[in-house]
Amino acid sequence: MSKRILVVILVIVSMFTLPLFAQDKHPIDKLEEECIEKDSTTAGMNNCAMEACKQWDVELNKYYELLLGILSIEEKQQLKVAQVAWLKYRDLETKFRMDTFLNNQGTMYSNMAMSEKLDIIKQRALELKSLYGTLKSAKE
């Protein structure tokens, strides 16, 4: 009996998690990977991550502006306040993570620090994109 329950649980869990792994990579992630393939030195990987940060920032700003275009006046104000707070968070969190990693010996820590910075920006860009998609659909 317990094996059957375990199998059912595994099937249910896989139904929800497998689609997450099957998603295509975002074009920015692909560009970063291609960049690293061309130059996998520590400096090269950091340069690729910096370029990806710039691209994710463009993506973030794109969806921020798109959101402003569909929100009410009150919602726009709330988004602006939230974004200012997020920018402060981004700066403080990035400084903390960068300082923490860069205080360690070894060149790999500079790559890890850049990866942390990239993840913070990417996460917000994807959050705004998702929010825009949800709200746009709801308003149609």
Written as six digits, the tokens of 34 are 């291609």
In sequence order, the 6+-apart residues with CB closer than 8 A to the CB of 68 are 76, 79
The CATH architecture one would assign to domain 28-139 is Up-down Bundle (1.20)
Domain boundaries, the chain: 28-139
Confidence grade of residue 101 (pLDDT, cut at 50, 70, 90):
confident
The pLDDT of 118-123, averaged and rounded, is: 96
Spatial separation of the C-alpha atoms in residues 69 and 76, rounded to whole Å: 9
How confident is the model at residue 95, as a pLDDT? 94
At 4-61, the pLDDT tens digits run 554 445 445 555 554 455 468 899 999 999 999 999 898 999 999 999 999 999 999 9
Confidence grade of residue 107 (pLDDT, cut at 50, 70, 90):
confident
At 55-89, the pLDDT tens digits run 999 999 999 999 999 999 999 999 999 999 999 99
Q: In this prediction, what percent of the chain has a pLDDT beyond 70?
A: 84
SS3 106: coil
5 or 119, which is more confident?
119
- Of 93-97, 103-107, 113-117, 126-130, the poorest mean pLDDT is in 103-107
How confident is the model at residue 4, as a pLDDT? 56
pTM, two decimals, is 0.79
How confident is the model at residue 8, as a pLDDT? 47
Q: What angle do CA 131, 95, 56 make, to 5 degrees?
A: 35
